Amino acid sequence: LLYNNLFILSKPLQLMKKNKLMNTITWKGKPFKQLSFGKSKSAGRNSSGSITIFHRGGGSKRLQRRIDFLRNTLSTGVVERIEYDPNRSSRIALIRWSHIEIGTKARSVENYDKKEEFVSEGPSFFSYILACDQMKVGDNIMNNHLDSAEGPTISLAKAQKKTFAEKHALVNGALELVSANPVFPSREPRTKTLEDRQLYQKIGTNCTLAQATLGSFIHNVERIPGLGGTLVRAAGTFGQLVQKFENKRVCVVRLPSGRQYLLDLLCRATIGVVSNASHNTRKLTKAGQSRWLGKRPVVRGVAMNPIDHPHGGGEGRTKGGRPSVSPWGKPTKGARTACRNLRRKDLRYTSSLTKV
């Protein structure tokens, strides 16, 4: 039974397969060999091999994937396939990149979607990125353009008027090889054309927050420029660009938790929502599925011996009349654990920036 052209409702020959939806668009083969590697398991144990976390350990054997969170190749790419990654909740996409600079023919969205606009000459390479929602095989995506790598743009009235052909150095008609003749970004003010706005709204495009449109959904957001995306990477999550302060070179980004962060306008992010939005609706139908994920059973304190837990021992189910505590004697069930004085204040949004 095909469901929304994306999932197949499996036949319930076993109880664990009852009402289970199987994805039909993910890659069924092995991962890309050059971007995967093995790793020994050490979950729940310290360097000496002693158990330090009781409820972690084991799990199925899996390969690690090298995910490109930096997205600093300054090129265009094509989605080769969408794969399942056992190490994260979202899907990943294998991208074939080309080291080229986009010329005038490929700047508009209409020409950008055509594969014949991208030359096959020059070195091509592959990388894994986080797959966006509604991303499919054959889609064209891009990283930040070389000419637009500077910070915030200014209005047309204050900018230096240049034609589009003057701002882009062209070789052989439309395209220029970056490896042969590199072009470094300038710090001079430039205008944001209509083609730029349309291109920076395309799903999968990676650009700076200065180039992103206000109100757009973003993910894989950087905290510090150049260190790679660390925020908003879980399945089905997205952040939103709320406000820009171009004179202070900062912007306000609302995270999935609802907290608003102040980030540098040179921090980069990817347009769109993270894939696999139905991850929170999955059901583990048997205990073995938790063991596959590396989760061990949770044992109650009253079921232990007195040497193992403060609630252990006694005749019958009793904890000795004391309040609920952890195995180390610290209060639990409602006790505050966060230290309010040590919270990060440099990333929190303050209303003082509105007074400009």
pLDDT tens digits for range 265-309: 999 999 999 999 888 888 888 899 999 999 999 999 999 999 999
The CATH number assigned to the domain holding 335 equals 4.10.950.10
Let me know whether 345 and 274 are in one domain.
Answer: no
Let me know whether 319 and 270 are in one domain.
Answer: no
What is the residue range of 318's domain?
299-356
In a domain, residue 288? The reply is: no
User: For residue 263, how many C-alpha atoms fall within 13 Å in the half-sphere facing its CB?
Assistant: 30
In a domain, residue 258? The reply is: yes
Dump pLDDT digits (tens) for 212-231. 999 999 999 999 998 999 99
**Type of residue numbered 144:** N
Dump pLDDT digits (tens) for 73-92. 777 889 999 999 999 999 99
Dump pLDDT digits (tens) for 165-206. 433 433 333 333 333 444 444 443 444 444 555 666 789 999
Q: Could you identify the residue written with the tokens 């399942």?
A: 84
Q: Could you identify the residue written with the tokens 């209509």?
A: 194
Rounded-to-integer distance, Cα 262 and Cα 244, Å: 10
Identify the pLDDT of residue 182.
41
Let me know whether 196 and 306 are in one domain.
Answer: no
Let me know whether 145 and 179 are in one domain.
Answer: yes
Identify the pLDDT of residue 285.
84
Give the range among 52-56, 113-117, 330-334, 352-356 with minimum mean pLDDT.
113-117
Let me know whether 232 and 100 are in one domain.
Answer: yes
- More confident position, 355 or 257: 257
In a domain, residue 285? The reply is: no
Rounded-to-integer distance, Cα 328 and Cα 220, Å: 37
Identify the pLDDT of residue 328.
92
Rounded-to-integer distance, Cα 104 and Cα 196, Å: 12
The whole-number average pLDDT for the span 249-274 is: 93
Q: What percent of the chain has pLDDT over 70?
A: 66
Q: Is the dihedral of CA 222, 228, 230, 234 positive or negative?
A: positive
- Mark residue 3 as left, alpha or beta (left: phi above 0; alpha: psi -120 to 50; beta: remaining): beta
Let me know whether 204 and 253 are in one domain.
Answer: yes
In a domain, residue 5? The reply is: no
The whole-number average pLDDT for the span 234-254 is: 92
Identify the pLDDT of residue 131.
95
Identify the pLDDT of residue 348.
57
The whole-number average pLDDT for the span 47-51 is: 92
How many independent structural domains does the chain possess?
Answer: 2
| 120 burial level (CB within 10 Å; 0-12, 13-18, 19+) | exposed
The CATH number assigned to the domain holding 231 equals 2.40.50.140
Give the range among 146-155, 232-241, 330-339 with minimum mean pLDDT.
146-155
- More confident position, 123 or 234: 234
Identify the pLDDT of residue 116.
38
Identify the pLDDT of residue 219.
96
Q: Would you give the DSSP letter of residue 247? A: T
Strand partners, 229: 222
- Per-residue pLDDT band for 69 (boundaries 50, 70, 90) equals very high
Q: Is the pLDDT of residue 120 over 50?
A: no
In a domain, residue 8? The reply is: no
Rounded-to-integer distance, Cα 251 and Cα 208, Å: 11
Rounded-to-integer distance, Cα 267 and Cα 265, Å: 5
Identify the pLDDT of residue 221.
96
In a domain, residue 236? The reply is: yes
Q: What percent of the chain has pLDDT over 90?
A: 42
Q: Is the pLDDT of residue 111 over 50?
A: no
- Length of the chain in terms of residues written: 356
